[in-house]
Amino acid sequence: MAFRRGDKVWVEDREEAWVEGEVLDFRDKLVLVQTASGKKLSTTREKLMHRDPDADHGGVEDMTKLTYLNEPGVLYNLSRRYAHNEIYTYTGSILIAVNPFTKLPHLYNAHMMEQYKGVRLGELSPHVFAVADASYRAMMTEAQSQSILVSGESGAGKTETTKLIMQYLTYVGGRLTGDDRTVEQQVLESNPLLEAFGNARTIRNDNSSRFGKFVEIQFDASGRISGAAIRTYLLERSRVVKIADRERNYHCFYQLCASGEDANNYKLGHPSNFHYLNQSNTYDLDGINSTAEYLRTRRAMDVVGISSSDQEAIFRILAAILHLGNIEFSPGQEHDSSIIKDEKSKYHLLETANLFRCNPNLLLGTLCTRSIQTNEGIIVKTLDCEAAAASRDALAKTVYARLFDWLVENINKSVGQDKNSKIQIGVLDIYGFECFEHNSFEQFCINFANEKLQQHFNEHVFKMEQEEYSTEEINWSYIEFIDNQDILDLIEKKPIGIVSLLNEACMFPKSTHETFSTKLFQSFRGHPRLEKAKFSETDFTLSHYAGRVSYQTEAFLEKNRDYVVIEHRNLLSSSQCTFISALFPRLQDDSRSSYKFSSVASRFKQQLQALMETLNSTEPHYIRCVKPNAWSRPQKFENQSVLHQLRCGGVLEAVRISLAGYPTRRTYSEFVDRFGLLITELIDGSYDEKTLSEKILQKLNLTNFQLGKSKVFLRAGQIAVLDSRRAEAARDAGALREAKNKLEKRLEDISLHFELEKRRRISSEASKQAEISKLQRSLESVHAELNAAKLAVENEQEKNVTLSRQIEVSKKENASLESRLAQMEELNKENLYLKGHHEFLIRCIKEDMGFKDGKPLAACIIYKFLLQTRAFEAEITTVFDGIIEGINDVIKVGDECDVLPYWLSNTSGLLCLLQRNVRFDTFFTSPARAVSGSPGLTGRAMQDMKYRLKNCEESFPLLEARYPAVLFKQQLTASLEKIFGFIRDGVKNEISALLTLCIQVPSFFIRKLTTQVFSFINVQLFNSLLLRRECCSFSNGEYMKSGLAELEKWIGNATEEFAGTSWHELKYIRQAVGFLVIHQKRKKSLDEIRQDLCPALTVRQIYRISTMYWDDKYDTQSVSNEVVAQMRDLVTKESLDLASNSFLLDEDMSIPFSTEDISKAIPAVDAADVELPPLLRELPSGQLLAKRLQLPAP
């Protein structure tokens, strides 16, 4: 990697991972660098990465837009966004979610879901709802099943993210019904139920999922949820009987102990009274009420359809497990035998038997003995205390695992699967890659699964790269793609693989972990991915994609044997509780052994294979959850930890794949803006941006690039060369400016000296003026003689004029003939163009081309067509007439509710492009009709389209218009006015009847209606400002400010009687716009902003605008870092208040008046003077009413 003096770089650092630095000098193979802290150090080139000095301090929303797509660039960008509470960031289509460790309910309410509904991915700020919506829209438009893969380490937020995805999918795919038992409601309520039985507190996470989960949500053809299914993987069974300090068992046990009356019925008390819970001193969780959680779990059971009797049986089993754990043993009289230890243990034995509804003596025998079937008969073998305790724990684990499987199966039955559904969205929440100080069989299985998912991820990322290269029409075939198939073969390949060797060892009773390890090292001696651990004869180390992991094999064989003790099965299958006996159905033919072996690894491998087949049949979407620090504290970003997770989550692997191709991609306009300094002599409007980009690259003799349709693609390292040359050019330009200033000063001195010399010369020449006067008098006499000669010459000139006129007449005749010939040639050329492109233009006009990024496509296509065919330069052409006729034909037959607004946008857009890119000032054109005191219609259309078409305009050079183009502009203006007139007349006709009826409506109602309309305008504009970063710019602020001025003028003309407080209703958008357009924001304090600039806005709203603001006009910065930090602290505190945590405004749909308001606002009505109409007067009731209305004479 090439570096030069003065280059801005990232330097590898042990503590901070990467720190900022600048290259000072080179010494042999070392580079001398000065860090941002002032420290100087020498390092190798391999420990340096290029840094972009012009990077956005607020970070970018999509990291594929980073100038340097490398490890420190990704890390720094995530850190900066996290500092601003922006927890979501895209890497292409991959969403990275950094756990904020604080509640942010304003990001996840129904209002926010509505904002992201149907919006293209990347148009709004990154969000989990955007990914969920993208998967839903892709499923509906492409009729293909989708999957969303959520991964990350414990505590990264996978479970919460999965729940948010399911919340959004049920929002867009749910039915409007009040029934709590709908499919979507059952899907949502399965989350707290499975959390209660499958989640526990670990050192890293208070709500850690101890199982993997894949939820398949099925949809019908209309996009409504019609069914669902849940698959689970690798429940951590050992946690039921053994927990580490500062951790907890599964939540359901603590909920049951806090259930009050139910706990008393099961003879339960505080968790500290039970062995399976008191191995840790942690019984409660901060902010969690176990009693309330117990009621929530009960409600979830009701929703998913678990009957009251089954619920009672479930909690009976949980209580039995707790009592079972308190049974202790002491040595019996016989050798290697055991008995109940004391009365306390006997009490728990009786309670366990009562809850299991089985015989207590049979339970005791099951725990303390084993029956072995031999040819001579059954032999009963006693168990010592240690073996009896192990049997007790095995029974507890088996019962809990069967109960958990029953819950999942029951949820699936209750929700139901739609066999007719052809589309579905699967959501995968599974353990991330794990590497602890002690790694056992569970970590081996988890990392095996992650290797599988990583291979799937790599293939998807590589596919996305290929698709972009194909879209841009560049060559990509040579890019190297390295997968992890070799380690997958090492783990799962038959007949020789780690899983196969482990199963083989488990089949032989005399096998130990030592014999397994020996066979492993013999079979894979010299394998690049496996090696023996340094300080152990039995441990082995695997080189995974995320790093090296050493596994301890002591418990591998035991944990892989997924056996059920026959005595345990027989005991529980004979239970008088039908629920318990159904969990353990009797076997038809009892095995001769007390153990029935099945392999956990083989079963998990089969599950994993089925999962991969499902994922391969779907279109995947990826969410990588990141835990920013090990202490679960907000606003703490630990670089080394995050970097490790990015590697484990495959994000940096995606970067590696991108680096193998063209990691730097810039649109041509962005490229020319950044590096145009290198070819200033060519930027004169003669070349388009693609040509300029190519000339920049050619000037620097770069070859590792490709030019696509809209972007320039650069190989790794090329952008650094460009930046280096750009810096040199900037320095040279600075030196030239300094020389220029010196020359200007020298010129000023010379000019002053010249002025003094001039004054002295004038004074010396005054004396000579007298002599000159004498000479002039003598000249006058000579002039008289010359006049006589001139008179003779004039006579001769008159004759010459007559001859010249005759010559001019002949020239004009020749010019006329040449002009007609040129016109004929132009017409022939035009006919050739029209013949080839007439069908293209007609289709473009008749078909609805739609819009992209707010730009009308038909207008842009027509303009590019005219530009390419050089129609603007033609003296005679009929192509403009064809366009106008086509537009007029369409609007004649079109539905004004659909076609007319569409062509109003396109004609105004086309006019804007003509006005800004074609020069008409050499022709006299009459101005468009306009109302007095207001800008013309064309001016309004151009002003409205200016911002949307900005990027489109800058792509074309300024052209000189010929007469047909000028005429076309006038005709297009007339068509636009005609369309607007149609729409206006249509609206007028629609509301004329209503306005006629409103003549007698009191102004009170008109005032209220107008006020609510302006309130709606305020909400829509303000919310759009907070959700779209491109709206939070200085230019857009100026644009909206002018629009608000028009509204203020209208309100003033309408008067307070009819407009009321309409101007006050716009206070939010007015103050937000005022903030955007003020200068020197960094000098404003928080109090000044809150009290003077934006008193109506909340701190959360001001914080959102401040962090999203960007100046596209003067390149100024937003508020200071101190103000941002103050607002962030206030926002964090306010997050606890659910009433004030949303930064979006809600629409007020209430009726804004009461009957009392009407009585006060409307004058009293006297009905006594009302005469009956003649039509009613003839009826009998009318005559009666007329008599009653007669007043007595005074």
142-166: pLDDT as tens digits: 899 999 999 888 889 999 999 999 9
* Gap between the Cα atoms of 502 and 511, Å rounded: 10
- Burial grade of 535 (CB within 10 A; 0-12, 13-18, 19 or more): exposed
Asked if 497 is an active-site residue, the reply is: no
Q: What percent of the chain has pLDDT over 90?
A: 42
Instruction: Record the tokens describing residue 720, joined without a space.
Output: 């650094």
Confidence (pLDDT) at 875: 76
DSSP state of 250: B
| Across 136-145, 194-203, 696-705, 1038-1047, least confident range | 696-705
Confidence (pLDDT) at 893: 63
Q: Greater confidence, 86 or 68?
A: 86
- Burial grade of 131 (CB within 10 A; 0-12, 13-18, 19 or more): buried
* Mean pLDDT across 762-779: 73
| Sheet arrangement for strand 88-91 | 88-91, 94-98, 619-626, 146-151, 423-429, 212-219, 225-233
Instruction: Record the tokens describing residue 1111, joined without a space.
Output: 């100046």
Confidence (pLDDT) at 591: 46
Asked if 154 is an active-site residue, the reply is: yes
Asked if 973 is an active-site residue, the reply is: no
Q: How confident is the model at residue 136 (pLDDT cuts 50, 70, 90)?
A: very high
CB atoms within 10 A of CB 1078: 15
DSSP state of 5: T
Tell me: the pLDDT tens digits for 280-338?
999 999 989 999 999 999 999 999 999 999 999 999 999 999 999 999 999 988 888 99
Q: Greater confidence, 236 or 951?
A: 236
* Gap between the Cα atoms of 726 and 326, Å rounded: 75
Mean pLDDT, the chain, rounded, equals 84
| DSSP labels, 133-183 | HHHHHHHHHH---EEEEEE-STTSSHHHHHHHHHHHHHHHH--S---TTSH
Catalytic residue among 91, 209, 232, 326: 209
* Mean pLDDT across 847-873: 77
pLDDT higher than threshold 80 for residue 104: yes
Tell me: the pLDDT tens digits for 659-675?
667 777 888 888 888 88
pLDDT higher than threshold 60 for residue 178: no
Which of 72, 21, 2 shows the shortest CA–CA distance to 723? 2
Task: Give the CA angle between residues 634, 640, 643 to the nearest 5°.
Answer: 95
Confidence (pLDDT) at 931: 39
Instruction: Record the tokens describing residue 461, joined without a space.
Output: 């990322």
* Mean pLDDT across 624-638: 92
Q: Where are the beta strands (DSSP E) in 185-224?
A: 199-200, 208-209, 212-219
Buried b (16+ CB within 10 A) or exposed e, 1135-1161: beeeeebbbbbeeeeeeeeeeeeeeee
Q: How confident is the model at residue 902 (pLDDT cuts 50, 70, 90)?
A: confident
* Gap between the Cα atoms of 849 and 853, Å rounded: 13
Which of 1059, 524, 469, 402 shows the shortest CA–CA distance to 715? 469
Confidence (pLDDT) at 801: 81
158 is in an annotated binding site: yes
pLDDT higher than threshold 50 for residue 93: yes
Q: How confident is the model at residue 462 (pLDDT cuts 50, 70, 90)?
A: confident
Give Cα separations from 102 to 87, 141, 287, 448, 1132 (angstroms).
11, 36, 12, 32, 7
Q: Are 1135 and 104 in contact (CB under 8 A)?
A: yes
Greatest alpha-carbon pair distance for the chain in Å reads 163
* Mean pLDDT across 1161-1177: 68
Tell me: the pLDDT tens digits for 119-128?
988 889 999 9
* Gap between the Cα atoms of 755 and 1058, Å rounded: 70
pLDDT higher than threshold 60 for residue 415: yes
Asked if 432 is an active-site residue, the reply is: yes
pLDDT higher than threshold 90 for residue 653: no
Catalytic residue among 64, 208, 877, 1036: 208
| DSSP labels, 765-782 | HHTTHHHHHHHHHHHHHH
Q: How confident is the model at residue 897 (pLDDT cuts 50, 70, 90)?
A: low
Q: Are 1144 and 106 in contact (CB under 8 A)?
A: yes
Q: Residue holding tokens 């004869």?
A: 537
770 is in an annotated binding site: no
Confidence (pLDDT) at 926: 41
Confidence (pLDDT) at 917: 80
pLDDT higher than threshold 60 for residue 440: yes
Confidence (pLDDT) at 226: 92
pLDDT higher than threshold 80 for residue 1171: no
CB atoms within 10 A of CB 451: 23
* Gap between the Cα atoms of 1169 and 1146, Å rounded: 47
Asked if 159 is an active-site residue, the reply is: yes
Q: Are 943 and 906 in contact (CB under 8 A)?
A: no
Q: Mind listing the domains of the chain with CATH numbers?
A: 1-51 (2.30.30.360), 825-1000 (no CATH), 1001-1169 (no CATH)
Confidence (pLDDT) at 854: 61
Q: How confident is the model at residue 116 (pLDDT cuts 50, 70, 90)?
A: very high
Identity of the amino acid at 519: K
Catalytic residue among 89, 99, 170, 205: 205
Confidence (pLDDT) at 220: 93
Backbone angles phi, psi at 1128, to 5 degrees: -60, -40
Q: How confident is the model at residue 790 (pLDDT cuts 50, 70, 90)?
A: confident
- Coil, strand or helix at 1048: helix
Does the predicted TM-score (pTM) go above 0.75?
Answer: no
Q: Greater confidence, 931 or 468?
A: 468
pLDDT higher than threshold 80 for residue 465: no
Confidence (pLDDT) at 1139: 52
Tell me: the pLDDT tens digits for 1095-1132?
999 999 999 999 989 888 888 889 998 999 999 888 88
Backbone φ/ψ region at 424: left (φ over 0), alpha (ψ -120 to 50), beta: beta
Which of 1013, 1018, 1000 shows the shortest CA–CA distance to 1060? 1013
β-bridge partners, 712: 666, 707
Confidence (pLDDT) at 996: 66
Tell me: the pLDDT tens digits for 258-271?
999 999 999 999 99
Which of 1023, 749, 1076, 880 shows the shortest CA–CA distance to 125? 1023
Identity of the amino acid at 978: K
Q: How confident is the model at residue 1185 (pLDDT cuts 50, 70, 90)?
A: low
What does DSSP say about strands 40-44 and 146-151: parallel, antiparallel, or unpaired? unpaired
Backbone φ/ψ region at 85: left (φ over 0), alpha (ψ -120 to 50), beta: left
Q: Are 336 and 327 in contact (CB under 8 A)?
A: no
Q: What percent of the chain has pLDDT over 70?
A: 88
CB atoms within 10 A of CB 967: 16
* Gap between the Cα atoms of 697 and 718, Å rounded: 10
Q: Are 34 and 21 in contact (CB under 8 A)?
A: yes
Asked if 1118 is an active-site residue, the reply is: no
User: Which run of H or E residues covers position 41?
Assistant: strand 40-44
Catalytic residue among 58, 73, 155, 909: 155
Integer-rounded Cα radius of gyration of the chain: 42
Tell me: the pLDDT tens digits for 469-481?
788 888 766 556 6
Tell me: the pLDDT tens digits for 18-36?
999 999 999 888 999 999 9
Confidence (pLDDT) at 597: 57
Tell me: the pLDDT tens digits for 909-960?
888 888 778 776 555 444 444 433 444 444 444 454 554 555 454 444 567 7
Catalytic residue among 71, 86, 434, 977: 434
Give Cα separations from 1180 to 110, 1175, 1186, 1191 (angstroms).
59, 11, 10, 19
Confidence (pLDDT) at 1001: 73
155 is in an annotated binding site: yes
| Across 493-507, 658-672, 836-850, 916-930, least confident range | 916-930
Asked if 434 is an active-site residue, the reply is: yes
Dihedral sign, CA of 327, 328, 331, 336?
A: positive
Q: Greater confidence, 62 or 377?
A: 62
Tell me: the pLDDT tens digits for 977-1000?
888 888 877 777 776 666 666 666
Q: Are 877 and 938 in contact (CB under 8 A)?
A: no
Q: Greater confidence, 953 or 784?
A: 784
Asked if 209 is an active-site residue, the reply is: yes
Q: Are 725 and 733 in contact (CB under 8 A)?
A: no
Confidence (pLDDT) at 714: 86
Q: How confident is the model at residue 1169 (pLDDT cuts 50, 70, 90)?
A: low
Q: Are 614 and 515 in contact (CB under 8 A)?
A: no
Catalytic residue among 159, 226, 337, 503: 159
